[in-house]
Amino acid sequence: MDQFKQTYFEECEDRIQDAEEGLSMMLDGDLDKDTVNRVFRAIHSIKGGAGAFAFNQIVDFAHEFETVLDFVREGKLTPDRDMCTLFLRSNDVVAEMLSLEQSKKTIPESIGANLLEELRTITSSMKGESAPAPSSEASNNDHPTSENFTWSIVFRPHEDMLKTGNEPYFILQALKELGDLKVTTETDNLPSLHDIHAEHCFIGWRLTLKTSAPEEEIREAFDFVEDLCDLEIAKQNVPPGDLPERRKAENRRDSDTPQARRKEDRDAQENAPKASKSIRVDLDRIDQLVNLVGEMVIAQSMLQEQVRWLPPEVGGKIGEGVEHLTRHMRDLQESVMAVRAQPIKSVFTRMPRIIREVCAAVGKDVRLTTFGEDTEVDKTVLENLIDPLTHMIRNSVDHGVETPSERQAAGKEPYGTIELSARHRSGRIIIEITDDGKGINRSAVLKKAQEKNLIPADHQLTDNEIDNLIFKPGFSTADKVSEVSGRGVGMDVVRKNVTSLGGRINVASTPGKGCVMTLSLPLTLAVMDGMVVSVGSQRFVLPTINIIESFRPPHSAVSKLSNGVNVIIARGDYVRLVPLYNIFGIQDAVLNPEEGLVILLESDNGEKLAVMVDDVLGQQQVVIKSLETNYTNVKGISAATILGNGDVALILDVPGLSSMNASIDIIEEYQNALKAVGQIKITPTKKGGKTDEESAQEEDNKEDESAEANETNAIEDNEDHPPKDEDAEEGKLTHE
Amino acid sequence: MSMTVMTVDDSRTMRDMVSFTLKGAGYQVLEAEDGVEALSILSSQKADIVITDLNMPNMDGITLIKELRSKADYRATPILMLTTEADDTKKAAGREAGATGWIVKPFNPEKLLAVVKKVGGI
């Protein structure tokens, strides 16, 4: 039975959401038949399953709920906003009961007791007008039973009985199972052959049945045809003794049987044809698939790397094969990722309830509109999105939207509006929460941040920077910790959660008009397209979606500002130029921009940035290995990956880079991260896969690394006066 | 040869239970989520018995029964409807449409098998 329970709970989750959506529409005045019916069906279906598992409290509650909904469905009852709210709360109760059942806890009597009363009151007031009174299968069991009565039965089907698919022969068969049956066929009504209609029944039967079964069981055989035939059932002799209720007791046993039978049934189940269009698959299995595909991508890029070294007469054909493989790998990978993708709807639909709860707690009125619910995103991302999004929504209602009276004083509608939207943009999902509340009080935020020493007192901040202070650890805008969004966790936790998903969060506020909080998250956490670049002997990966172009800058394009920041003219704009060798302390890199390459990047928020590298090595799909699980978060680095030749490369975090300056801390962290990731080079074995030259180079790398780690002073020096040779001096020409 | 039963229900739990019980008793089972899907499956595969829920999206049980009865292949096929409680109006509507009989939810596996056997004859 347990295996069905699991399905049941999963299904109920969908049902609850269905009901909730429908009820929310009803709350907004949509009493369309389809809407009401959808809610009714959801609750009805939950009740049906609950009955099968003997979740009696759920059955009782759902029954009352359903009864009231039925009145609405039949148009006998028109619910107002209050009643719709009652329905929504009832739905919440059903959800809670289900989750208690699922965790195998007992449902306390108190849950939903008030609501049950209210629902009953509605029902009884309705019943006054119309009493449908669902009749139960009450059996009048006062016929004493005994062994072997003899029954005379006359059974004359009406002409059209066969049209309902009822087969008289089967009914006789069922009777035969009850005991000893003698059948006499009546053919009196049989017309002449000419008039016989193949689909009409013209014959009847006289039966004599010797059985111990009670009359009700005999009647049961005729259950479906009572109204389709003439039927007489009469007892022939007088009962010699009683044997009451025995069969009843036997029937009770039935509910235990499936468990006992399950094992043998497996085979039968597997052979049966499956007509369903979708199946539920355990997430672990999909993850295993995703991992395997990830490993295959690595293996394939190793293969690609090796083919390059083959002489053309051999390599040509193999290269072609590898080319095909690459294409198919990409398709395979996209298909696998699509399996994991789910519409964000499942997260969005949780939000109305949260808003209701918060509104009730703080006395506000907020309406929610959602857009882009069908936007798909990886399931893991989706699941990890629930908490931050819930928190942000709570925060918007609690701190963003004003109370009705405040709103009216400000000349706004008494109810606030929160808009939740999702869309895809350049390989990421962008979620926006827009409220029309009071916005962020910048002077208060700034004052608080200074009080708490989150920023230096004399620091000049832009408006946007001030707004985003709310994400700083230790910052909480509410004067006192509130019931709703307080509890000691603040927006900094939200940011931490989002960042750990490779996402970013930003808030933009217009005082008096409201806030827009923007979440940007990767669509998948497993694979991405990257450009592999070299800086000295190090390899880095730049996310392809961030790359605009790469070019070798002319002499005049690079300038150094007075604060030491390099800028470069790209596409007519001054863009900050970040020399990667400088930030990560790589010594054997090209120092002169004119000899290396500049790659122009754009981060998700549209900000442009240029990085300086030695060379571009190629574009490939890389499997993302989280840095955090292996080491810790390093600024400017989002993750690590393993390249075709087995080397570890770090994946650069573009927005992170734009705010970075070279510092000893980062160089050290970076060196440590590289070592930590280097130790988990799991997949590719490098045996025999490398030329001597490469191995030698690798040895050099190791020496370099340790040298760098020990000589941080030298690096710092290097930073202030980076060019050591004449060429480089020229390359860094300073324009004012 | 074993009989093929189609279960039509928008509730996966119900479909699973019906399907599990019947397969255990040696029946072949086809599953459909609603009337529309049922009709489309039945246009290419034959079911000897149909068990349908009444309240379903897209096409409800009553319409499905009517549709099936209008097809030559399913004029006399036993069609059982699943109802909650002994709802007489539903039963009457089903009968009107040509339903063979009904099963009251919640049902136990034994009862389901008994009814299927009664209308299917095996």
Q: Does A227 touch chain B (CB under 8 A)?
A: yes
Q: Cis peptide before B106, with omega less than 30 degrees from 0?
A: yes
Task: Tell me the sheet residues that pair with A428.
Answer: A425, A522
- Residue A163: its chain B contacts at CB < 8 A? 69, 75-76, 98
Average of per-residue pLDDT across A153-158: 87
- Provide the pLDDT for residue B49: 92
Phi, psi values for residue A176, rounded to 5°? -60, -30
- Provide the pLDDT for residue A216: 82
**For residue A20, which of A345, A344, A342, A353 has the smallest C-alpha distance?**
A353
ipTM over cut 0.85: no
Residues 6 or more apart whose CB falls under 8 angstroms from that of A513 comprise A436, A439
According to DSSP, the β-strands at A341-343 and A376-378 are antiparallel
- Provide the pLDDT for residue B86: 61
pTM: 0.45
Judge: A45–B21 Cβ closer than 8 Å, yes or no: no
DSSP string, A271-333: HS----S-----HHHHHHHHHHHHHHHHHHHHHHHHHTTS-HHHHHHHHHHHHHHHHHHHHHH
Q: Does B118 touch chain A (CB under 8 A)?
A: yes
Q: Does B119 touch chain A (CB under 8 A)?
A: yes
* Residue with token string 């979606």: A545
Q: Domain A344-522 is of which CATH architecture?
A: 2-Layer Sandwich (3.30)
DSSP string, A506-565: EEEEETTTEEEEEEEEES-SSEEEEEEEEETTEEEEEEGGGEEEEE---GGGEEE-TTS-
- In chain A, pLDDT over 90 holds for what percent of residues? 3
Hey, what's the torsion of the CAs at A687, A688, A693, A699, to 10 degrees? 20
Tell which CATH classification among 3.60.90.10, 3.30.70.60, 1.20.910.10, 3.90.1150.10 matches the domain A149-243.
Answer: 3.30.70.60
- pLDDT interval class at A681 (50, 70, 90): very low
How far apart, in whole angstroms, are the C-alpha atoms of residue A296 and residue A104? 42
Classify domain A527-680 at the CATH superfamily level.
SH3 Domains (2.30.30.40)
- Asked if A133 contacts B86 with a C-beta cutoff of 8 angstroms, the reply is no
Residues 6 or more apart whose CB falls under 8 angstroms from that of A692 comprise none
How far apart, in whole angstroms, are the C-alpha atoms of residue A203 and residue A191? 10
Task: Tell me the sheet residues that pair with A144.
Answer: none
Judge: A48–B105 Cβ closer than 8 Å, yes or no: yes
Residues 24-63 of A with CB under 8 A from B: 37-38, 40-41, 44-45, 47-49, 51-52
pLDDT of A613 > 60? The answer is yes
Q: Does B99 touch chain A (CB under 8 A)?
A: yes
Judge: B121–A173 Cβ closer than 8 Å, yes or no: yes
- Asked if A47 contacts A58 with a C-beta cutoff of 8 angstroms, the reply is yes
Judge: B106–A48 Cβ closer than 8 Å, yes or no: yes
In angstroms, the separation between the Cα of residue B38 and the nearest Cα of chain A is 9
Judge: A4–B69 Cβ closer than 8 Å, yes or no: no
According to DSSP, the β-strands at A547-551 and B79-84 are unpaired
- Residue B87: its chain A contacts at CB < 8 A? 134
- Residue B17: its chain A contacts at CB < 8 A? 4, 52
Nearest-Cα residue of chain B relative to residue A266: B24
SS3 of A357, please? helix
Nearest to A272 among B29, B88, B102 (CB): B29
SS3 of A235, please? strand
How far apart, in whole angstroms, are the C-alpha atoms of residue A247 and residue A249? 5
Q: Does A254 touch chain B (CB under 8 A)?
A: yes
Q: Does A457 touch chain B (CB under 8 A)?
A: no
- Asked if B78 contacts B120 with a C-beta cutoff of 8 angstroms, the reply is yes
A647 against B44, higher pLDDT: B44
A644 against A347, higher pLDDT: A347
| B interface test, pick of A45, A264, A265 with most B CB neighbours within 10 Å | A45
Nearest-Cα residue of chain A relative to residue B83: A48
Judge: B95–A221 Cβ closer than 8 Å, yes or no: no
Average of per-residue pLDDT across A602-611: 77
Q: Where are the alpha helices (DSSP H) in A103-239?
A: 113-127, 168-178, 215-220
* Residue with token string 């006789």: A172
Q: Does A169 touch chain B (CB under 8 A)?
A: yes
How far apart, in whole angstroms, are the C-alpha atoms of residue B122 and residue B112? 13
According to DSSP, the β-strands at A608-613 and A573-579 are parallel
How far apart, in whole angstroms, are the C-alpha atoms of residue B91 and residue B112? 17
**pLDDT tens across A419-457, in order?**
999 988 767 789 999 999 888 888 888 888 888 777 776
Q: Domain A2-139 is of which CATH architecture?
A: Up-down Bundle (1.20)
Mean pLDDT score of chain A:
75
According to DSSP, the β-strands at A149-157 and A229-235 are antiparallel
How far apart, in whole angstroms, are the C-alpha atoms of residue A710 and residue A287? 41
User: What residue type is A219 in one-letter code?
Assistant: R
- pLDDT interval class at A239 (50, 70, 90): very low
Q: Does B97 touch chain A (CB under 8 A)?
A: no
Q: Does A6 touch chain B (CB under 8 A)?
A: no
**pLDDT tens across A466-518, in order?**
888 888 777 764 444 444 444 445 787 788 778 777 778 888 888 888 899 99
Hey, what's the torsion of the CAs at A127, A128, A129, A132, to 10 degrees? 30
* Residue with token string 């008289």: A168
In angstroms, the separation between the Cα of residue A116 and the nearest Cα of chain B is 20
- Provide the pLDDT for residue A1: 63
Average of per-residue pLDDT across A312-325: 83
pLDDT of A665 > 80? The answer is no
**pLDDT tens across B86-109, in order?**
667 888 888 888 888 888 877 777
| H, E, C per residue of chain B | CCCEEEEECCCHHHHHHHHHHHHHCCCEEEEECCHHHHHHHHCCCCCCEEEEECCCCCCCHHHHHHHHHCCHHHCCCCEEEEEECCCHHHHHHHHHHCCCEEEEECCCHHHHHHHHHHHHCC
Q: Does A221 touch chain B (CB under 8 A)?
A: yes
SS3 of A617, please? strand
